[in-house]
A and B are shown apart, each in its own frame.
Chain A
Amino acid sequence: MLGLDSFNIDSVVIHTISIFFSGVCLQSPCSLLFEPVTLQPCLPSEFDVVILGTGLAESVVAAAFSRVGQRVLHVDRRSYYAANWASFTFNGLLTWIQQHHEESQPEEAQDWSSLLEEGEELIYLSNSKSESDSISNVQVFSFTSEEEEEEEAPSPDPPSIAEEQTGGAEEDAVKENSETESADSKEDDTKEKSEATADGDDEEQASQTEGEEPEADQPTTSAAQSQSEPIKKKISYPQLLKEGRRFNIDLVSKLMYSRGSLVDLLIKSNVSRYAEFKNVTRILTYRHGKVQQVPCSRADVFASRQLSVVEKRKLMRFLTSCMEETEEQQAYNGRPYLEFLCDQQLGDNLQDFLLHSIAMVTEDTPTEEGLTSTRHFLRCLGRYGNTPFLFPVYGLGEIPQCFCRMCAVFGGIYCLRHSVNCLVMDKETNRCKAVIDSRGQRISCSHFVVEEGYVGADRKQMATPTRSLSRAVLITDGSILPSDSDQQVSMVTVPPIAAGCPAVKMVELCSSTMTCMPGTYLVHLTCQSVGSAYEDLSPVVTRMFHTPESHDQENCPSVLWCLYFNMADGSGLEAEGHNLPSNVYMCSGPDGGLGHEHAIKQAESIFQKILPEEDFCPPAPNPEDIIYDGDNTSSAMGGEEEEKEETEDKQEKEEKEDKQEEKEETEDKQEEEEKDGAGEMEKEEEQTLQTEE
């Protein structure tokens, strides 16, 4: 841990106020304060903002509103936080997979018109159980053994036989694969299927173990270093299940740019104190059938063995010069970045690194865009580590939860497994006056924010054609590039392996990120969909890993288990302009970008449209700075309930004033600090860059 926040704001006085649960509940008379959970207390019937869905953008919006004193109700029909941004334990993920194979129950369209007043109209939301719209083509393959403990490989079969068997396995896998595809439409029990998959692989597994030369062939660097036992034990499926809670498997795969808008927001709001982070330790790329490290920091460049002295000089010169806009660059505006790079006479090596791994763009990307992303990459270097990226310990699914907690800490009310069935629209003003929740309670609100998945296609203005992302999640038994440390976090760029194939972004996580069990790695692959996730990504998996489908990949890490699925790409959706009341805002699901810019920008713009005067996520006070302003009279007993109610209003007012003051102060301070900080950093960087010359 590298020290807590150094940022201080003046002591904040928080008055003890009674929370709005004491408000009257119209639906059913129940005592609210000491209600046992089993009886489910009802919700207050009035909020400023009701938010449906706990994805990243929705959660940031929730925190932002709650922080400035708005009354927020935040609900999600799922039993977990973060919607399509969620992360799951291994067993949790299996449940999620099963849900996506189940037929969605036709919705019971209940008639809530009795709750309407004159001049009102109902707008029904979509609450179908499966997110069939956003998730599709779910396919699972298990290449582990079903046996509890695997003993040493029995009689040594010749490898050739093993290979033949493996070939057979490929067919099996393909067959199963098509089965699985059809399963989506047919009524088919997934459980049976996954069992079948596992069973079918049982034999293959055995052969695999035999065929594989344990460790001997591995590049000597580190392979054996972490393993004391000479023969690596295969991890079995029951072991994965048993250690399932050590996994935190994200549905989306992104990284945090160390100077990106998410990191800035986490720091600004103090939400960062709820989570810990790790540096991505290296950037890798896949070229000519090999995994290579991309030199990106000064240290990397000088330490690199694959670059010649001339290349090193060229690369440093290029990286330095591209930080500033020049006339030469402008001349390439509108022309491909690749062309610009070609004309810099960098050579194929450097050109590939720069295009695919540093700018992370395609061959057709215009020069100005390529330069912008190169600069962003370079600016993010060195803030926390030697790569531009951070990854949250326990996975990305933590981030929306952190914002939700911030919202709750400031009084926001949370309710999972709870939804909004319909909106009550005032016909005259075209505004949403209230919502009707899944228990038929009418809850009035001034604004409504909703995740796109709850809005029927007929009301959405979508960019056509709709795009989607292809995702694969692998659990493997080794790193794709073994090194001195077995605890590397790697960002891997895989350029299109053939014409027409998508460029794939891959993130390999080690067990110290708390996303997978010790002895395994969690690998996420993501690309813009061309075909199904399996079609897009399995060729890359087969090339870079050892699976029953791959041949002569014995030195590659083995895939123990993998999952393919497609997810709708949220980048084409606007927050407004849909066929919805004017005070309803839509948040899109995860986009295909590597960073979180899209969601954060969306959250901020929704907040600013509703409360243009208010600060977006001002810092929460430090725990040490909170002073309780309790007048000690209350520690005496009895007879003061009435008195309290009288003083309540007063206190609330006072508190608001206090908050206001506090905010103004912190704003100023923060701005100053931020300016100073940024200025210094930039200067420092410039200097380092210049000294190189």
Chain B
Amino acid sequence: MAIRELKVCLLGDTGVGKSSIVCRFVQDHFDHNISPTIGASFLTKTVPSGNELHKFLIWDTAGQERFHSLAPMYYRGSAAAVIVYDITKLDSFQTLKKWVKELKEHGPEDIVVAIAGNKNDLGDIREVPMKEAKEFAESIAAIFIETSARNAVNVEELFQKISKQIPPLENPEVDSNDSFKLTRQPAPSTRRCC
């Protein structure tokens, strides 16, 4: 099966549980006091999808969202974006629109957008009605799901839904443009030079 690398970037206010969602998805682990972005450029997890393997490269904001200082490079080449809000914090839902706008401005055009209402385990102090969020997601043609990173609810499902929405690779030959990553070993060069 062919492995396809898909960059997914996370967005949303500080404290809504972006890192917890990644941590639950990748490590199946939850910690109250996490700051797992320390030292991790991005986290990876490979899941099967149809006759492909999707290797998600999940980029966290590394705290750069706190003072609204995300760099445009953060969005480059993303196949999908997950915008997270906290169902117990109305503010975090209201700023969702700002993140959508930011994504429209800086993100790739054909990006798959998913909206995740996190902390669904704290339903008793809910401030954001599910219906409202769902309607908003529909209005921007985004995936919508409520998750709980703490109780491992719907986290896998979130990424499965993203996987399904990723358009199949049309023609790998055409798609592969000749840009490359720098590596420690020289790229194989076909011609020898003087």
Please classify the interface of chain A as helix (H, G, I), strand (E, B), loop, or mixed, using the class held by over half of its residues: mixed
Closest approach, in angstroms, between the C-beta of B6 and any C-beta of chain A?
13
In the assembled complex, the Cα of A276 lies from the Cα of B179 at a distance in Å of 6
- A41 pairs with B29, CB closer than 8 A: no
- Which residue of chain B has the shortest Cβ distance to A655 in the bound complex? B38
Question: Does any Cβ of B come within 8 Å of A319's Cβ?
Answer: yes
Question: Does any Cβ of A come within 8 Å of B131's Cβ?
Answer: no
Known: A378-B194, A635-B31. A37 touches B76 (CB 8 A): no
In the assembled complex, the Cα of A362 lies from the Cα of B80 at a distance in Å of 49
> Which of A161-169, A414-422, A460-468 participates in binding chain B?
A414-422
Partner among A4, A17, A272 whose Cβ is within 8 Å of the Cβ of B35: A17
In the assembled complex, the Cα of A33 lies from the Cα of B181 at a distance in Å of 36
A residues in contact with B161, CB < 8 Å: none
In the assembled complex, the Cα of A6 lies from the Cα of B89 at a distance in Å of 44
- A37 pairs with B66, CB closer than 8 A: yes
Contact with A along B1-24 (1 / 0, CB 8 A): 000010000000111000000010
In the assembled complex, the Cα of A382 lies from the Cα of B189 at a distance in Å of 7
Q: Told that A18-B35, A394-B73 touch, could you supply 6 new A-B pairs with CB distance under 8 A?
A: A299-B191, A382-B186, A401-B71, A409-B38, A644-B33, A673-B184
Within 8 A of B (CB), among A389-411: 390, 393-394, 398, 401-402, 404-406, 408-411
- A4 pairs with B38, CB closer than 8 A: no
- Which residue of chain B has the shortest Cβ distance to A378 in the bound complex? B194
- Which residue of chain A has the shortest Cβ distance to B57 in the bound complex? A623
Closest approach, in angstroms, between the C-beta of A672 and any C-beta of chain B?
12
- Which residue of chain A has the shortest Cβ distance to B106 in the bound complex? A245
- B57 pairs with A301, CB closer than 8 A: no
- B14 pairs with A6, CB closer than 8 A: no
A residues in contact with B62, CB < 8 Å: 405, 408-409
Question: Does any Cβ of A come within 8 Å of B159's Cβ?
Answer: no
Partner among A316, A384, A416 whose Cβ is within 8 Å of the Cβ of B186: A384
Known: A38-B95, A623-B42, A623-B43. A18 touches B33 (CB 8 A): yes
Question: Does any Cβ of A come within 8 Å of B185's Cβ?
Answer: yes
Closest approach, in angstroms, between the C-beta of B148 and any C-beta of chain A?
12
Partner among A3, A298, A626 whose Cβ is within 8 Å of the Cβ of B43: A626
Contact with B along A256-293 (1 / 0, CB 8 A): 00000001001100101111111100000000000000
Known: A36-B91, A401-B71, A402-B73. A3 touches B189 (CB 8 A): no
Known: A5-B183, A38-B91, A272-B182. A14 touches B64 (CB 8 A): no
Contact with A along B161-194 (1 / 0, CB 8 A): 0000000000000001111111111111101111
- A37 pairs with B191, CB closer than 8 A: no
B residues in contact with A446, CB < 8 Å: none
- A692 pairs with B194, CB closer than 8 A: yes
In the assembled complex, the Cα of A342 lies from the Cα of B35 at a distance in Å of 64
Question: Does any Cβ of B come within 8 Å of A12's Cβ?
Answer: yes
Question: Does any Cβ of B come within 8 Å of A297's Cβ?
Answer: yes
Question: Does any Cβ of A come within 8 Å of B129's Cβ?
Answer: no
Known: A4-B183, A36-B91, A409-B40. A416 touches B69 (CB 8 A): yes
Question: Does any Cβ of B come within 8 Å of A519's Cβ?
Answer: no
In the assembled complex, the Cα of A278 lies from the Cα of B176 at a distance in Å of 13
- B179 pairs with A277, CB closer than 8 A: yes
A residues in contact with B40, CB < 8 Å: 14, 409, 621, 623, 626
Known: A628-B23, A628-B27. A299 touches B184 (CB 8 A): no
Residue ranges of A at the interface with B (Cβ–Cβ < 8 Å): 1-7, 12, 14, 16-19, 33-38, 40-41, 81, 245, 263, 266-267, 270, 272-279, 297-299, 301, 316, 319-320, 378, 381-386, 390, 393-394, 398, 401-402, 404-406, 408-411, 413-418, 512, 620-621, 623-624, 626, 628, 630, 632, 634-635, 640-641, 644, 673, 677, 681, 688-689, 692
Closest approach, in angstroms, between the C-beta of B164 and any C-beta of chain A?
24
- A12 pairs with B39, CB closer than 8 A: yes
Closest approach, in angstroms, between the C-beta of B64 and any C-beta of chain A?
5
- B193 pairs with A688, CB closer than 8 A: yes
B residues in contact with A279, CB < 8 Å: 178
- B39 pairs with A635, CB closer than 8 A: no
A residues in contact with B180, CB < 8 Å: 1-2, 276-278, 384
Within 8 A of A (CB), among B59-79: 62-69, 71-74, 76-77
Closest approach, in angstroms, between the C-beta of B91 and any C-beta of chain A?
4
Task: Return the 5 tightest CB-CB contacts between A and B, nearest first.
Answer: A382-B193, A408-B62, A297-B193, A401-B71, A298-B194
A residues in contact with B38, CB < 8 Å: 14, 17, 19, 409-411
Known: A381-B193, A382-B193. A621 touches B186 (CB 8 A): no
> Please, could you name 13 A-B residue pairs with CB atoms under 8 Å apart, sorted by A?
A19-B35, A33-B14, A267-B183, A267-B184, A274-B41, A401-B72, A405-B74, A408-B62, A417-B68, A626-B40, A635-B29, A688-B193, A688-B194
Size bracket, chain B contacts: 35 or more
Question: Does any Cβ of A come within 8 Å of B92's Cβ?
Answer: yes
Partner among B14, B23, B41, B69 whose Cβ is within 8 Å of the Cβ of A34: B14
- B194 pairs with A270, CB closer than 8 A: no
Question: Does any Cβ of A come within 8 Å of B154's Cβ?
Answer: no
- A6 pairs with B184, CB closer than 8 A: yes
- B36 pairs with A16, CB closer than 8 A: yes
A residues in contact with B150, CB < 8 Å: 635
Closest approach, in angstroms, between the C-beta of A561 and any C-beta of chain B?
21
B residues in contact with A628, CB < 8 Å: 23, 27, 29, 36
Closest approach, in angstroms, between the C-beta of A468 and any C-beta of chain B?
28
Known: A5-B184, A37-B95, A297-B194. A393 touches B71 (CB 8 A): no
Known: A5-B183, A405-B64, A677-B185. A36 touches B92 (CB 8 A): yes
A residues in contact with B183, CB < 8 Å: 2-7, 267, 272
A residues in contact with B49, CB < 8 Å: none
Question: Does any Cβ of A come within 8 Å of B125's Cβ?
Answer: no
In the assembled complex, the Cα of A18 lies from the Cα of B73 at a distance in Å of 27
- A298 pairs with B73, CB closer than 8 A: no
- Which residue of chain A has the shortest Cβ distance to B186 in the bound complex? A383
Within 8 A of A (CB), among B82-107: 89, 91-92, 95, 105
In the assembled complex, the Cα of A278 lies from the Cα of B178 at a distance in Å of 7
- Which residue of chain B has the shortest Cβ distance to A74 in the bound complex? B69
- A634 pairs with B67, CB closer than 8 A: no
Known: A2-B180, A409-B41, A677-B185. A415 touches B69 (CB 8 A): yes
- A414 pairs with B67, CB closer than 8 A: yes
- Which residue of chain B has the shortest Cβ distance to A416 in the bound complex? B69
- B73 pairs with A401, CB closer than 8 A: yes
Closest approach, in angstroms, between the C-beta of A606 and any C-beta of chain B?
22
- B63 pairs with A408, CB closer than 8 A: yes
| Residue from A38, A378, A640, A689 having most chain B Cβ neighbours under 10 A | A38
In the assembled complex, the Cα of A2 lies from the Cα of B57 at a distance in Å of 17
- A409 pairs with B39, CB closer than 8 A: yes
Partner among A3, A14, A298, A623 whose Cβ is within 8 Å of the Cβ of B193: A298
Closest approach, in angstroms, between the C-beta of A21 and any C-beta of chain B?
8
In the assembled complex, the Cα of A57 lies from the Cα of B72 at a distance in Å of 19
A residues in contact with B141, CB < 8 Å: none
- Which residue of chain B has the shortest Cβ distance to A7 in the bound complex? B184
- Which residue of chain B has the shortest Cβ distance to A418 in the bound complex? B67
Closest approach, in angstroms, between the C-beta of B143 and any C-beta of chain A?
24
- Which residue of chain B has the shortest Cβ distance to A390 in the bound complex? B182
| Residue from B91, B178, B193 having most chain A Cβ neighbours under 10 A | B193
Closest approach, in angstroms, between the C-beta of B186 and any C-beta of chain A?
5
A residues in contact with B74, CB < 8 Å: 401, 405
Closest approach, in angstroms, between the C-beta of A284 and any C-beta of chain B?
18
Contact with A along B29-53 (1 / 0, CB 8 A): 1111111111111111000000000
